[in-house]
Homo-oligomer: A and B are copies of this chain.
Amino acid sequence: MNERTPTGPPHPADDVTHHVGYLIKRAQAALRAAMDKVLRAHGLTVPQYSTLELLALRPGLSNADLARATFVTRQSGNVVLRGLQDAGLITRPATADHGRARPTHLTEEGHRRLAAVREAVYAVEQRMVDAIPPQRLPALLTDLERLAAALEE
């Protein structure tokens, strides 16, 4: 419908769509959509892929660990894990050796599936990276990290 501001933009910062917060949300939405599209062909959801990637990097993570790392609640993390377990991509010991936390590991099939999707997912990431001047990438990464850290306290 109406895509132009009726009064005109007096200053860039007055337009909410140019604020840092809005741009982060926009970038995340675009990334999510692109990953969804790519992962659907492999029968994986974004949270499932993220969990696989985290487990490949740090085997033995518990459900609570994975939930924190994927930015969801423990309860949501649990259903993701259940789905991956039903698909035979991860294993969880029936009983915890130490506390209540049960360390999760990738199965052979899990490693294979992850390897199979990685190329497609990394291509998405590459499309992002290629969109900016290479010499600015390090600064972008550290700035994003500081942004997040500032809000996490």
Residues of A within 8 A of B (CB): 1-6, 15-21, 23-31, 33-35, 53-54, 57-62, 64-65, 69, 71, 101, 103, 124-125, 127-132, 136-137, 139-141, 143-152
Beta-carbon contact of A152 and B30 below 8 Å: yes
Beta-carbon contact of A130 and B101 below 8 Å: no
Beta-carbon contact of A57 and B148 below 8 Å: no
Distance between Cα atoms of A4 and B58 in the complex (Å): 7
Beta-carbon contact of B127 and A31 below 8 Å: no
Query: 8 other contacts beyond A1-B60, A27-B144, A140-B140, with CB at 8 A cut-off?
Result: A1-B64, A2-B61, A2-B65, A3-B65, A4-B58, A15-B57, A24-B28, A27-B147
Beta-carbon contact of B147 and A59 below 8 Å: no
Residues of B close to A4: CB separation below 8 A: 58
Known: A25-B28, A58-B6. A151 touches B127 (CB 8 A): yes
Q: How far is the CB of A21 from chain B (nearest CB, A)?
A: 5
Which residue of the partner chain, among B25, B53, B71, B125, contacts A26 with CB atoms under 8 Å? B71
Distance between Cα atoms of A114 and B16 in the complex (Å): 13
